[in-house]
Structure 1
C-alpha cells in the first residue's frame, strides 16, 4: 500500500484524498488535494506538486490532464501528486499565502510548528523527500514568459548533472540553469539527494492550453525515460541560459516591445520603447548584451524604474 494523506492505493490502484495541514480561521480542518498512483509493478517514485504560488494555475491544468491518463496497471513504481500547495493563495487567486503574506517557494523544507506557509512546506516536503525525483510545477505568474525548466541547485552542486538531465528530459525547449534563492524546493530537493526541477510553464492570467500541453508532455517524457512507463524518449537539444539581464523603464509611459518572446537579441539592439499617450517616443532601450527575449510584463503602462522585461544571457545548447 502507498499513502499520501488520506489517499491510499494498493499496487495497480489509484486514489485521491486530502493532506491535512492545519485549520482555517473558523477552526475547521483544511487539506491539500492529493493523489496516489501505485503501479502494478515495483519501481521508482515520482513526486509532483503544483501551485505553490496561488495564482500560477498552469500546473494545476497539467495535473488535471495528466493524472487521468496514467494507468496504474501499466505503471512501474509510484506517482505522488499534490495538486494545490498554496491552499490559501489559490482560494483568493493571490501569488503569496495571504495568511502570513509569504511566498511559499521560499520556505522549504518548512517547519511543522512554524507559520502557515512553513507548515504546508513541511508537510509537502515530508511527502516529497522519499521520492527519486521531484517536479515542482510553476509558471511566470501573470507575466509573459517562455516555457522553460529551471535547474536551481547551482552548477557546482553534486546533483547538477542529474537535475540538468531531468530538465532536458522534461523538454520545454528552454532551460534556465542558475542557482535559485534559498527555500526553493528545487534547491532543497537536491540538497537531500533528490533530482528536482522547476518547470515554469509560460505565464498568463488563468491558464494557457499550449503551456499546459508542454507540461503534460513533459510528465510523460519523464515517466517513459525513467522507466515508469514503457516507451522510448530521446531528449531533444535544449537552449540553456545561465543568467538574466533585467530592464526597468527609464521613463513613464506605454511600452512597445520590438522583440517577440524567444527571439534572439544582439548587443545594442532595441528591445523596447516607451511612448507617451500620443505616440511620441520618450525612451528607447537597447540590449546590454547578446541573448534571448525571455520574459516581459503583460500590461503596457509603466512608471519610471518599473520592471519591463528580461533577456536571458549566457546562451548555449546542450
Structure 2
C-alpha cells in the first residue's frame, strides 16, 4: 500500500485525496489535491507537482491530462502527484502566497513549523524525497516565453549529468542549464540525490493548449524512458542556453518587438523599439550577444527601466 496524504493505493490501483498543510484563517483545514498511481509491478517512483506559483496553470493542465491516462495495471513503479502546491495563491490567481507574500519555489526544503509557504514546502518536499525522479511543472508566469526545461542544480553538481539527461528526455526542445536561486525544489532535491527538473511550459494568462500538450508528452517520455511504461523513447537533441541577457527599456512608452520567440539573435540585432503614443521613436535596443529570443513581457506599455525581454546565450546543443 502506498499513501500520500489521504490517498492510498495498493499495487495496481489509483487513489486521490488531500495532503494536510495547515489551516486557513477561519480554522478550516487546508489540503493539497494529491494522487497516487501504484503500479502493478515494482519499479521506480516519479514525483510530479504543479502550480507552486499560483498563476502558473499549464502544469495543472498537464496533471489533469496525464492522471486519467495512467492505468496502474500497466505501470511499473509509482507516480506521486501534487496537483496544486501553492494553495492560497491558486485561489486568488496570484503568483506568490498571499498569506506570507512568499514565492513558494524559494521556500524549499521548508519547515513544518514555519510560515505558510514553509509548511507547504516541507510537506511537498517530504513527498519528493520518496522519489527517484522529480518533475516540478512551471511556466513563465503570465509573460510570453518559449517552452523549455530548466536544470537548476548547477553544472558542477554531482547530479548535473542525471538532471541534464532528464531534461533531454522530457524534450521541450530548449533547456536552460543555469544554477537556480536558493530554495528552489530543483536545487534542493538533487542534493538529496534525486534528479530533478523544472519544465517551464511557455507563458500565458490562464493556460495554453500547445504548452500543455508538450508537457503531457514530456511526462510520458519520462515514464517510458525510465521504465514505468513499456515502450521505447529516443531523446532528441536539445538546444541549451547557459545564461540570460535581460533587457529593460531606456524610455517610457510602447514596445514594438523586432524578434519572435525562439528566433536566433546576433550581436547588434534590434530586439525592440519604444515609441510614444503618436508613433515617434524614442529608443531602439540591440542585442549584446548572440543567442535565442527567449522571453518577453506581454503588455506593450513600459516605464523607463522596466523589464522587456530576455535572450538566452552561450547556446549549444546536446
TM over 0.5: yes
4+ long deviations beyond 6 Å: none
Cα offset for 1:24?
0.4
Secondary structure at the counterpart of residue 56 of structure 1:
coil
Query: What is the rounded CA distance, in whole Å, between the counterparts of 1:296 and 1:196 in structure 2?
Result: 26
Give the whole-Å Cα distance in 2 for the aligned partners of 1:293 and 1:232: 33
5 Å matches for 1:129-208?
129-208=129-208
Note the residue ranges of structure 1 that are not aligned, 5 or more in a row: none
Q: CA deviation at 1:240?
A: 0.1
The aligned runs of 1:9-48 (5 Å cut-off) are 9-48=9-48
Give 2:268's aligned residue: 268
Aligned to 1:254: 254
Q: How far does the alpha carbon of each residue in 1:10-50 deviate from its partner, in whole angstroms, 9 at most, with x for none?
A: 00000000001100000011100000000000000000000
Tell me how far apart the structure 2 counterparts of residues 289 and 98 of structure 1 sit (CA, whole Å).
Answer: 38
Find the aligned partners of 1:154 and 1:9 in 2 and give their Cα distance: 36
Partner of 2:232, secondary structure, is coil
RMSD of the TM alignment (CA)?
A: 0.3
Matches of 1:281 and 1:151 in 2, distance apart? 39
1:164 aligns to what SS in structure 2? Answer: helix
Alignment of 1:287-302 (within 5 A): 287-302=287-302
Specify the alignment match of 2:226 in structure 1: 226
Partner deviation per Cα, 1:248-268 (whole Å, 9 max, x = no partner) = 000000000000000000000
Superposition deviation, residue 224 in structure 1: 0.2
For each residue in 1:51-71, what CA deviation from the matched residue of structure 2 results, as whole angstroms up to 9, or x when unmatched? 000000000000000110011
Gaps of 5+ in 2: none
CA separation in 1, counterparts of 2:182 and 2:289?
Answer: 28
Using the alignment, how far apart are the partners of 1:178 and 1:63 within structure 2? Answer: 26
Q: Distance in 1 between matches of 2:292 and 2:282?
A: 24
SS at 1:198's partner residue?
A: strand
Q: Name the structure 1 match of 2:239.
A: 239
- Aligned residue number for residue 107 of structure 2: 107
Matching residue of 1:7 = 7
Equivalence map 1:88-99=2 (5 Å):
88-99=88-99
Question: Between Structure 1 and Structure 2, how many residues are aligned?
Answer: 318
Between the aligned partners of 1:292 and 1:157, the Cα distance in structure 2 is 26
Residue matched to 1:118: 118
Report the alpha carbon displacement of residue 198 of structure 1 after superposing the two structures with TM.
0.1
Q: Deviations over 1:209-253 (max 9, x none)?
A: 000001000000000000000010000000000000000000000
